Amino acid sequence: MELGSRIFIVRLGNEPKGIVGSARTISIPKLSPHRLRTKRMQGKKSVFVRCECDKLVSTELYQPLSLETLKEIEPHSFNWTPQCSGTEIPEEVAKKLEQLWYKHLAGITGITYDSISVERYIKALLHLPDKYRKIIVLQFQCPRHEVSAGQLARLAGYPTFQIANILYGHAAHLVCKALNVAKPPFGQWFAALSEAYYNGKAYIWIMRPNLVEATKQLGWPREKHYQTFFASPDELTANEEFAEGRVQLVAVNVFERNTKARAVCLRHYGFVCSVCGFDFQKFYGELGREFIHVHHVKPLSEIGEEYTVDPIKDLLPVCPNCHAMLHQKSPALAVGQLEKLIKGSHASTSSR
C-alpha cells in the first residue's frame, strides 16, 4: 500500500451498517505491537497504517452508505462484509464506489457541484487572480481537459507537483468563496472544479463540463497572455485514436502523441530533424537511436469540428530544440519559417 492510498471505513456488527468514512494513508503499513492489551502482553503484533480522514459520518445523525446499496455495485464478486481490515477493492469497483460515496455525501449535506451553472462559474472565475486563471487554462487545453498534478506542474513550470496541488486547491476554494458554496463533502476543494479518478499512478482531475464551457465563453485560451503553452509530447498522455473530436478544446500535443500516427510518420520520414537536420544516433550513438519528437504542422484554426490526422501530410519529425522554437509563437511557426530564421542567424554570425 502506497502513501496517499484511498481508504474506506465500513461499519459492521451493530446497525446501521455500511460505509461511514473515507481517508487517505499518511504512512506505509508497519508491523507494530497488537492493539489489544492481552495480545500485546503475549508479544503478538499486527500491521498498522496511519490515515487522515477527509469525511466521517456520525451514525447518530446520518445514515451510512448502506450494505444494500454497496451490493448493487458488485453483488457477487466482492465481499462487502470482510472479517478483517485491509481488504483491497478492485479498481473498477473503487471507481464506482467513489462516485456513489460522493453522491451519498451530497445527499446528506445538500452539496452538489454538478449543479453550478456556466453563468455562476463565469462570475466566480472573473474574481480569480491571474496565477489561478493560468491553472484553469492549462487544464482546459489538455486532452479531454484531464490533467494530473504532476502534469500541471510541468506545464506551468512549477518545481514540484505539491505546488500544483496547493494552487489548484486554492483556486477551487476561491471559486467556492465567490459563489458562497460550502466545502466539498470529501474535504478537498478540487471537487468544485473537477471530478477525479485514479489511473494506477496518479489522480487525474477531469474539468467539470460547465467549467469547460465557462472557460471557453470567457475566451481566456485565445488571449495571448494565456496562449498556448508548449510542453514536450512526452509529458502528456498518448491518445491511441487517429480521429480527434472537438479539437478546438485540446492542446496541439494530442496529435503529436498519437502513437499510431507517430509510427507511420517516422516510418516515412525517418528520425532526422526536418528543420536543422540533427541526427541523434549519429551524435549519441546507440543511446540516440530512433529518438525524435513529432510536430503537428497544421494550424488549429484550420481544423474542423471532427478531424483525422494524416501522418504524412500533418506530422514531421523534429528535434526537441526545434520543436520548442516552433511553438515559441502562437500560432506555431511553419517549419520553413524556422529554417529561414536558422539560416539567417548563421549568416549573421559568419559575417561578423
Q: What is the pLDDT of residues 199-250, one digit of tens each?
A: 667 788 889 999 999 998 988 776 544 444 444 444 343 333 333 333 332 3
> Is the dihedral angle over the CA atoms 140, 144, 146, 147 positive or is it negative?
negative
Residues 352 and 238 in one domain: yes
What residue type is assigned to position 110 of the chain? G
> Is residue 214 domain-shared with residue 254, that is, in the same domain?
no
Residue closest to 333 by CA, chosen among 230, 182, 242, 214:
230
Query: What is the distance between the alpha carbons of residues 123 and 133, in angstroms, rounded to a whole number?
Result: 13
Q: Is 101 contained in some domain?
A: no
In a domain, 348, yes or no: yes
* pLDDT over 50 at 336, yes or no: yes
Question: Where residue 104 falls among pLDDT bands split at 50, 70, 90?
Answer: confident
pLDDT value at residue 316? 92
Task: Write down the pLDDT at residue 122.
Answer: 93
Query: Domain for residue 342, yes or no?
Result: yes
Choose one of 201, 227, 253: the last residue of a domain: 227
Q: Is 74 within a domain?
A: yes
My answer on whether 242 and 223 are in the same domain is no
**Residue 302 pLDDT level (bands cut at 50, 70, 90):** low
Residue 275 confidence (pLDDT) above 90: yes
Give mean pLDDT, residues 104-115: 66
Same domain as 256, residue 213: no
Question: Is the domain of 251 the same as that of 344?
Answer: yes
- Whether residue 1 is contained in a domain is answered as no
222 shares its domain with 242:
no
Same-domain status, 180 and 256: no
Q: Which of 206, 227, 248 is the last residue of a domain?
A: 227
Residue 46 pLDDT grade (very low, low, confident, very high; cuts 50, 70, 90): confident
- Whether residue 6 is predicted with pLDDT greater than 80 in this model: the reply is yes
Q: Residues 221, 238: one domain?
A: no
Q: Which pLDDT belongs to residue 269?
A: 92
196 and 149, same domain (yes or no):
yes
- Among 15-24, 52-61, 286-295, 315-324, the least confident range: 52-61
Q: What is the pLDDT of residue 145?
A: 85
Write down the pTM of the prediction.
Answer: 0.41
Instruction: Please determine, for residue 77, whether its predicted confidence score (pLDDT) is greater than 50.
Output: yes
pLDDT at 127 over 70: yes
Residues 172 and 59 in one domain: no
In a domain, 121, yes or no: yes
Q: Is residue 97 part of a domain?
A: no
Q: Provide the pLDDT confidence category of residue 291 given band limits of 50, 70 and 90.
A: confident
Q: Which residue has the higher pLDDT, 131 or 144?
A: 131
**Predicted local confidence at residue 327, as pLDDT:** 80
Alpha helices in 110-233 (DSSP H): 118-125, 130-141, 149-156, 161-179, 209-218
Q: How many domains does the chain have?
A: 3
- For residue 248, give its domain range: 233-352
Q: 216 and 306 share a domain?
A: no
Whether residue 96 lies inside any domain: the answer is no
Sign of CA dihedral 178, 183, 189, 195: negative
Tell me the pLDDT band of 252, cut-offs 50, 70 and 90: very low
On whether both 327 and 246 belong to a single domain, the answer is yes
Classified as helix, coil or strand, 350 is helix
Write out the H or E segment, with its range, that includes residue 272. none
What stretches of the chain show up as alpha helix (H) in DSSP? Answer: 37-41, 67-73, 91-109, 118-125, 130-141, 149-156, 161-179, 209-218, 253-256, 259-269, 280-284, 320-326, 335-350
The percent of residues in the chain predicted with pLDDT above 70, rounded, is: 78
Q: Where residue 112 falls among pLDDT bands split at 50, 70, 90?
A: low
**Of 169, 193, 227, which residue is a domain's last?**
227
pLDDT in tens, 137-186: 989 888 778 888 988 888 888 888 899 999 999 999 899 888 877 665 54
